């Protein structure tokens, strides 16, 4: 070893010891006869001190060290007179007697400290320098801790970690595939897995009973702010289980992780049906850190000559506690906010219950104070509260109201990052109508089992069939989702036919799975968690990128290695590919 200790471990207990440390020169300060250097490695920062009076040439040498030089030093651990109690090594410094420059460094393009001056692009281009910063380094350490905690828990209850292939076959379901041309089978392509779904099911047919994998998945989707074309899942599958068993097993995983990582007890997860989530939160991933539930006012508001609500399918209110004194300006601004195309409401109605007991609304032309009072009662409002009301087509209005609720939650400080509220959302619809393709799509994926009591509607009323599918939601973020699977060939065939596959297409694309179902497939089900997202949640950040060592940018590019990139004509020829020039 080039060093005797790391830069994070020496304390007052080591005073008097001769040590050797290696690391990067973070910064130096010349104070008259003394020079101080902060030496950094993954474990921390240790202060080095050089004295002009006792060793002038060494001090000169220290003054010449540039930022990010890699050095090795030897010296004696000494108690500091000016202590920094914020860091573990802050009570000591090293009185250096030798410096060895192991490697020089160009001046880094941004400062490698907690608060850097580097913009996103620059930091991504020099990600290896960015990772030297505590914030990014700590995020990667947290990720490793979440991975280890996951493995510990799952190993302890008999799950086996099994790798599945990365070069698989392209299928039309789900998102777009990334494809890889095959040189040995010209004109044919592999696809990178969007998830190991079919493989994990085959492992159940194979009798592996409990499988998991921390696995890279790939989806060639248009990137939204917090999406990565490649991401990691905690992918799991179990045999001989019902939904209840899966919920309990993975509730256990999340409790274990919270205990391990945050030392927090998140308790048992409440459960909510999809239908209730949509009705009371307007959203299938409700943030239940705060109430402000959606309340339908249809019965109370219709029939008073206010055309907008009379024509509306649904009229929905939320109660913003203590906001009756919102100014006209604030309300106008909120109205503009809901009218933005991303939210899509046509207008916003409000009603105040003032602190003095008076009631006032933006629609006083149509409604009396007594009317308003009934709205307030239905919403559980009190004096001092404000109702915000939207009307229109059910799905659109609920969605817009859900956005407004989250926005009000933010404005009122109700979405505290240090509070964690998890729940299960259950009973998703099996299918959703895709207007563009004019056919039913699987809401989860085509392998999800319908609820047995709903199977008979598969052909007559597909939209009403509920699935044995579940999502885990934490603080308004879907962290995981899964389902009980179909394990019977005939039902699987029927499902494909409802999804518009011909028998031939289904056989060609998923024959391997349906054939396997003929050889004793056990009842099975599973779940997958978005690992990057889970890490960002534990880390208290909105960005999954911070938790990925080498992420891609919003255009799906790795700006450090400059990928994707062109390939040579030679390679194209070998792959029998032609690119239009």
The one segment of 83-91, 243-251, 289-297, 477-485 that binds ligand ASP by CB under 6 A: 477-485
Give whichever of 197 and 492 is closer to ligand ASP, judged by the CB atom: 197
Alpha-helix residue ranges (DSSP H) falling in 126-242: 127-130, 134-156, 197-205
- Identify the residue among 150, 195, 397, 536 touching ligand ASP (CB under 6 A): 195
- Identify the residue among 481, 484, 514, 544 touching ligand ASP (CB under 6 A): 481
- Identify the residue among 527, 535, 537, 548 touching ligand ASP (CB under 6 A): 527
Determine the residue with CB nearest ligand ASP: 195
Q: Backbone phi, then psi, for 473, in 5-degree steps?
A: -125, 130
Residue 234 contacts residue 528 (beta carbons within 8 Å) = yes
Give the C-alpha separation, 137 to 142, whole Å.
Answer: 9
Structure tokens at 82: 């000016």
Give the C-alpha separation, 528 to 195, whole Å.
Answer: 9
The one segment of 77-85, 162-170, 309-317, 521-529 that binds ligand ASP by CB under 6 A: 521-529
**Residues sharing a CB contact under 8 Å with residue 8, sequence separation 6 or more, in sequence order:** 41, 42, 43, 44, 45, 46, 88, 89
- Identify the residue among 23, 286, 482, 539 touching ligand ASP (CB under 6 A): 482
Give whichever of 277 and 528 is closer to ligand ASP, judged by the CB atom: 528
The one segment of 143-151, 273-281, 450-458, 520-528 that binds ligand ASP by CB under 6 A: 520-528
The one segment of 115-123, 132-140, 525-533, 550-558 that binds ligand ASP by CB under 6 A: 525-533
- Identify the residue among 528, 534, 535, 537 touching ligand ASP (CB under 6 A): 528
- Identify the residue among 483, 492, 493, 509 touching ligand ASP (CB under 6 A): 483
Residue 398 contacts residue 321 (beta carbons within 8 Å) = no
Give whichever of 397 and 483 is closer to ligand ASP, judged by the CB atom: 483
Give whichever of 449 and 536 is closer to ligand ASP, judged by the CB atom: 449
**Residues sharing a CB contact under 8 Å with residue 65, sequence separation 6 or more, in sequence order:** 25, 28, 37, 71, 99, 101
| Secondary structure (DSSP) of 168-193 | B---SSSSPPPEEE-SSSTT-EEE--
Size of the site for ligand ASP (CB under 6 A): 8
Q: Least Å distance between CB 151 and ligand ASP?
A: 18
- Identify the residue among 28, 89, 164, 197 touching ligand ASP (CB under 6 A): 197
Give whichever of 409 and 526 is closer to ligand ASP, judged by the CB atom: 526
Q: Least Å distance between CB 300 and ligand ASP?
A: 41
Q: Least Å distance between CB 527 and ligand ASP?
A: 5
Q: How far apart are the first and last CA of the chain?
A: 54
Question: Cα dist. 295→8, 391, 397 in Å?
Answer: 55, 12, 12
Q: Least Å distance between CB 237 and ligand ASP?
A: 7
Give the C-alpha separation, 561 to 496, whole Å.
Answer: 42
Structure tokens at 544: 């999954």
User: Which residues are 450's β-sheet partners?
Assistant: 467
Q: Least Å distance between CB 198 and ligand ASP?
A: 9
Give whichever of 282 and 482 is closer to ligand ASP, judged by the CB atom: 482
Q: Least Å distance between CB 164 and ligand ASP?
A: 11
| Secondary structure (DSSP) of 57-106 | HHHHHHHTPPTT-EEEEEEEEEE-SS--TTSTTTTEEEEEEEEEEEE--P
101-133 core/surface letters (b: 16 or more CB in 10 A; e: else): eeeeeeebeeebeeebebeeeebbbbbebbbbb
The one segment of 99-107, 206-214, 380-388, 478-486 that binds ligand ASP by CB under 6 A: 478-486
| Max Cα-Cα span within the chain | 93
Q: Least Å distance between CB 484 and ligand ASP?
A: 10
Q: Does residue 530 bind ligand ASP (CB under 6 A)? A: no
Q: Give the binding site for ligand ASP (CB under 6 A).
A: 195, 197, 481-483, 526-528
């Amino acid at each position: 070893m080039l060093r005797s200790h790391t830069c994070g471990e020496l304390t007052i207990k080591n005073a008097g010891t001769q040590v050797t440390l290696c690391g990067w020169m973070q910064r130096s300060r010349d104070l008259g006869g003394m020079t101080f250097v902060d030496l950094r490695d993954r474990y921390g920062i240790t202060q080095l001190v050089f004295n002009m009076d006792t060793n002038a040439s060494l001090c000169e040498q220290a003054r010449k060290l540039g930022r990010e030089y890699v050095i090795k030093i030897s010296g004696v651990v000494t108690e500091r007179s000016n202590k920094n109690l914020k860091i573990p090594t802050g009570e000591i410094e090293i009185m250096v007697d030798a410096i060895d420059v192991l490697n020089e460094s160009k001046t880094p393009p941004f400062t490698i400290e907690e608060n850097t001056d580097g913009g996103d692009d620059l930091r991504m281009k020099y990600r290896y320098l960015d990772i030297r910063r505590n914030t990014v380094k700590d995020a990667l350490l947290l990720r490793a801790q979440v991975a280890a905690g996951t493995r510990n828990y799952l190993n302890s209850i008999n799950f086996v970690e099994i790798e599945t292939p990365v070069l698989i076959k392209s299928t039309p379901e789900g998102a777009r595939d990334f494809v890889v041309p095959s040189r040995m089978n010209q004109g044919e392509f592999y696809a990178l897995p969007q998830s190991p779904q079919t493989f994990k099911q085959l492992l159940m047919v194979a009798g592996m009973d409990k499988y998991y994998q921390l696995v890279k998945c790939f989806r060639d989707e248009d990137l939204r702010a917090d999406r990565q074309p490649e991401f990691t899942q905690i992918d799991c599958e179990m045999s001989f289980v019902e939904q209840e068993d899966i919920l309990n097993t993975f509730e256990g995983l999340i409790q274990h992780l919270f205990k391990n990582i945050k030392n927090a007890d998140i308790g048992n997860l409440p459960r909510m049906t999809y239908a209730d989530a949509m009705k009371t939160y307007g959203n299938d991933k409700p943030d239940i850190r705060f109430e402000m539930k959606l309340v339908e006012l249809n019965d109370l508001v219709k029939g008073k000559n206010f055309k907008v609500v009379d024509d509306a399918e649904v009229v929905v209110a939320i109660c913003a506690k203590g906001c009756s004194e919102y100014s006209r300006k604030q309300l106008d601004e909120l109205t503009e906010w809901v009218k933005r195309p991303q939210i899509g409401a046509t207008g916003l109605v409000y009603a105040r219950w003032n602190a003095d007991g008076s009631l006032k609304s933006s629609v006083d032309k149509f409604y009396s104070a007594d009317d308003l009072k009934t709205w307030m009662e239905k919403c559980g409002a009190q004096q001092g509260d404000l109702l915000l009301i939207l009307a229109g087509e059910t799905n659109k209005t609920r969605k817009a109201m859900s956005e407004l609720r989250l926005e009000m939650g933010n404005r009122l400080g109700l979405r505290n990052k240090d509070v964690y509220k998890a729940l299960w959302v259950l009973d998703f619809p099996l299918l959703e109508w895709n207007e563009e393709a004019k056919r039913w799509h699987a809401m989860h994926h085509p392998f999800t089992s319908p609820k047995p009591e709903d199977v008979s509607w598969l052909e007559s009323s597909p939209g009403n069939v509920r699935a044995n599918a579940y999502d885990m939601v934490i603080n308004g973020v879907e962290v995981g989702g899964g389902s009980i699977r179909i394990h019977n060939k005939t039902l699987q065939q029927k499902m494909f036919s409802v999804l518009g596959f011909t028998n031939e297409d289904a056989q060609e694309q998923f024959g391997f799975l349906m054939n396997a179902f003929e050889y004793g497939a056990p009842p099975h089900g599973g779940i997958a968690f978005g690992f990057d997202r889970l890490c960002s949640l534990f880390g208290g950040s909105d960005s999954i990128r911070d938790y990925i060592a080498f992420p891609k940018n919003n255009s799906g590019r790795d700006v450090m290695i400059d990928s994707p990139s062109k390939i040579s004509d030679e390679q194209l020829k070998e792959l029998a590919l032609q690119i239009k020039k």
